[in-house]
Amino acid sequence: MTAELVRGQNHPLPGTRLEIRVSAGTPVVAGATLGDEQGRVHGAERVAHPGSPTLPGLEVSRQAAADHRLAVDLEALGEGVHRVHVLLALPHGTAGPSRFAAVAAPFVAVTALDGTEIATFTLTGLGAETAVVALELYRRQGAWKIRAIGQGYAGGLADLLADQGLPEAGRLAATIQDAIALGASRSVAAPPQRTSDDARVRTPAPGAPGGADAADAEPPAAVPPQPVGDGGPINYAHPRRRTGAPPAPAPVAPPAAPGEPAPPVAGDASGWSMDERLYNQVWGMFEDLARTVAAYRSAVDFADSRMEQELDRALSDPRGRMGQAGDRAREEAHAKREELVGRAREVLDRDLAQLAAESEVVEPALPPAYARWDNPVWHAYRVPMELPMALRIGELTLPEQPELRIPMLIRLPLERGLWIDSGRGGSDEAVFLDPDRVKGLAVDTAVAVAARLLAVYPAHEFAVHVIDPAGSAAGRLAPLTRAGVLAAPPAAGAAGVSAMLAGLTERVDLVQMAVRAGAGADALPPGMDTAEQLLIVNDFPHGFDDRALNQLRYLADEGPSVGVHLLMVADREEASEYGPVLQPLWRSLLRLTPVPDDHLADPWVGHAWTYEPPLTPPGSRVLEQVLGRVGEARAAWPH
């Protein structure tokens, strides 16, 4: 029977190999410290955290996530370890909550390797704390026990580690947060929860009588005033969605045959529009695949561990290692392992089959913003009148079922910049390609992403600028230049780079001042383009001096809140001459690769997903056709 612990309560542990599962509802950092009999931690080498996730007998997650699985082998802990403290902390510098009072109470479960729960603890009563000691595993008279702690620290990890006697606790806390920030560039952020109808901000959309369209925003207090154009707000942070009417009923699946799951239906998730229902359904498929594969991998790990234990017991006597008895013990252990793995694979295959069937129904029903380039929906493409919720910028797969491709959707407007890695060192596949080939594919990926952004925005609500200092990408940028969709010719040379950055920096400054003052469009210079802006930077850092570098960092930090976004095409190793000064820039961007690479992690269990860029099929002209229609719409727009 599972022991449901309350703060301060303890419970015996029946075994020494355990799994600690954490469910927090929002990304948190999970770690652990190894202490002596008094609980004191004598050095950073006794702290497991995302920057150093593995210690003898202990392994934690490499990133912040809403769900964690910590592996513990108490018998393998280092000499002198008598206490293991499990830590949770909120990551700094993210858009997430800044204190535990703003999140659902974290839930922690201690389980055996077969998944059987030993004890659980819900961390209630937290307030301003940003870090907490959740559990303590401690040794008493040769036996291990667990105690529910729930001790929070408003001063965060630094105070928590200092309380455990760790020298230079502040420095280690900063190291941990830096590791989390660096990992953010490889993490797919979970979609925000849909706000209730009462919490939505309803403002008339331009040209929409009666205000049927509105910005889907957080509660009004969280939305700063925005500069206005033609009397209506310009919203730089949230997509416009139709909320004036109650949600239409979701499609109903036809009845299933007895004993069979219901046939999947496109758009059967919750939402106020088909756009939102499909968005939520795709994210549901993403989460389902992450969790079902996590369960399978956990079952395989358990089977392997059980086989090792049985072999250790059976062969511990030297007399039983040889002959038929030893062979029979090995065969039985391997047979049990195969049986457990086989049962787990049956469950996985069943779940994968259901997800594959759902994908076959959902993929053809996706609108252009969510669809692959080879989807027939692009043949009937028309420039939209309003902005969708999200944009597809690639696909994600796992090795257990590489044929099952999950659309990688990001919310619009962009909340962070993008970085297309043009180096060979960041991808196993890129290592075997010619460096110029990788750089060319990186520009192609940037063009494909920019084309999709232009295609899903209403005419003249999105502008694209390009910095190409040496003109090396002119040929691959041709689809954008020929269609006439760039705001200006690509900037080249030091003077061009300087002028482009100065203009966008000035725009950010002016719009920020208008926002702070609550001023309208008349406060902005005549003729200023109030559309969202995307700056594509190729071959960084070539052509950038210190001033240009500072302006670029400023745009990365301040631009997204007022509608200016970065899309970097760069090799991080080539920028290493600047040293750590560029670390904040890389951390602020979502890293993508121009070739398939397993560098992205989901927000639930932290699997390494293989990302595939949104390139068009070989020989396809769909990108040029779509950009041509965008160019025609922009040319026909009244000035």
What are the DSSP calls for 233-259, one per residue? E--SSS-EEE-SSPPPPPPPPPPPPTT
Q: Of 146, 90, 100, nearest to 124 (Cα)?
A: 100
Cβ contact 356:402 at 8 Å? no
The answer on 471 and 543 residing in a single domain is yes
**Are the beta carbons of 126 and 105 closer than 8 angstroms?**
yes
Count H helices, E strands: the chain? Answer: 10, 25
Q: Count the neighbouring beta carbons within 10 Å of the beta carbon of residue 140.
A: 11
Q: Which two tokens stand for residue 71?
A: 């592996």
Domain boundary among 164, 186, 208: 186
pTM, 2 dp? 0.72
Exposed (0-12), middle (13-18) or buried (19+): which is 59, by Cβ within 10 Å?
Answer: middle
Domain co-membership, 44 together with 172? yes
Cα(464)–Cα(623) distance, integer angstroms: 16
- Please indicate, yes or no, if residue 470 is contained in any of the structural domains: yes
Let me know if residue 214 belongs to a domain: no
Question: CB burial class (10 A; 0-12, 13-18, 19+) of residue 116?
Answer: exposed
User: Do 438 and 313 reside in the same domain of the chain?
Assistant: no
Domain termination residue (choose one: 333, 365, 397): 365
Question: How buried is 341 (Cβ within 10 angstroms: 0-12 exposed, 13-18 middle, 19+ buried)?
Answer: middle
**The two structure tokens encoding residue 19:** 């799994």
Give the three-state DSSP class for 429.
Answer: coil
Strands (E), 368-502: 390-397, 406-411, 418-421, 462-467
- 395 in the same domain as 531: yes
Q: Convert the pLDDT of each residue in 398-426 to its tens digit.
A: 999 999 999 999 999 998 899 999 987 65
Q: What is the torsion angle, in degrees rounded to the nearest 10, for the CA atoms of residue 449, residue 452, residue 453 and residue 454? A: 120
What is the biggest distance separating any 2 CA atoms in the chain, rounded to whole angstroms?
Answer: 92
DSSP 516-561: HHT--GGGSPTT---SEEEEEEEEETTT--HHHHHHHHHHHHHSGG
- The structural domain count of the chain equals 3
Helices assigned H by DSSP within 27-87: none
SS3 state of residue 451: helix
Residues 480 and 560 in one domain: yes
Name the residue among 33, 333, 14, 24 with its Cα closest to residue 176: 33
Beta strands at 47-48 and 590-592: parallel, antiparallel or unpaired: unpaired
Domain assignment present for residue 228? The answer is no
Same domain, 514 and 610: yes
> For the chain, first and last CA: distance in Å?
72
The residues near 294 (Cβ < 8 Å, ≥ 6 apart) are 69, 604, 605, 607
Rounded Cα distance between 118 and 111, Å, is 5
Q: Is residue 240 assigned to a domain?
A: no
Report the SS3 class of residue 616: coil
CA distances from 563 to 217, 341, 505, 507, 533 (A): 15, 50, 12, 10, 6
Residue 519 lies in a domain: yes
Residues 594 and 461 in one domain: yes
Q: Which residues of the chain are modeled with pLDDT < 50?
A: 194-246
Are residues 406 and 349 part of one domain?
A: no
State the amino acid at position 179 in one-letter form. Answer: A
> Is 33 inside any structural domain?
yes
Distance from the Cα of residue 258 to its chain's centroid: 39
CA gyration radius, the chain = 27
Residues 478 and 357 in one domain: no
Tokens 């469910």 identify what position? Answer: 23
Question: Using omega within 30 degrees of 0 as the cis cutoff, is the peptide bond preceding 541 cis?
Answer: yes
Burial class (CB in 10 A: 0-12, 13-18, 19+), 42: middle
Judgement on whether residues 347 and 392 belong to the same structural domain of the protein: no
| CA distance linking residue 496 with residue 478, whole number of Å | 19
Cβ–Cβ under 8 Å, residues 137 and 74: yes
- Please report, for the domain that includes residue 546, its CATH number: 3.40.50.300
Tokens of 94: 């993210």
User: Which is it for the CA torsion 366, 371, 373, 379, positive or negative?
Assistant: positive
Residue 279 is predicted with a pLDDT of 94
In this prediction, residue 522 carries a pLDDT of: 67
Please list, in sequence order, all residues whose beta carbon lies within 8 angstroms of the beta carbon of residue 621, skipping any fewer than 6 positions away: none
Residue 622 sits in which domain range?
388-636
Identify residue 362 by its one-letter amino acid code: V
What angle is formed at CA 556 by the lines to CA 555 and CA 562, rounded to 5 degrees? 60
We report the CATH number of the domain holding residue 160 as 2.60.60.30
Residue owning tokens 């297309």: 420
Backbone conformation region of residue 380, classed left if phi is above 0, alpha if psi is from -120 to 50, else beta? alpha
Of 186, 209, 243, the last residue of a domain is 186
Q: What is the pLDDT of residue 89?
A: 93
- Same-domain pairing of 356 and 445: no
Helices (H), 457-612: 478-483, 493-517, 546-558, 583-588
Does one domain contain both 327 and 470?
Answer: no
What pLDDT does residue 512 have? Answer: 86
With respect to residue 130, please indicate whether it lies within any of the assigned structural domains: yes
| Residue written as token pair 């300087």 | 498
Return the percent helix, strand and coil in the chain, to nearest 5: 40, 25, 40
Alpha-carbon span 351 to 358, nearest angstrom: 11
Sign for the CA dihedral angle at 98, 101, 102, 105 comes to positive
Instruction: Identify the three-state secondary structure at position 51.
Output: coil
Q: Which pairing describes strands 532-540 and 462-467: parallel, antiparallel, or unpaired? A: parallel
In sequence order, which residues have a C-beta less than 8 Å from that of residue 45 and are 6 or more positions away? Answer: 55
**Residues contacting 441, CB < 8 A, separation 6+:** 433, 594, 595, 613, 615
Q: Is residue 191 one of the residues assigned to a domain?
A: no
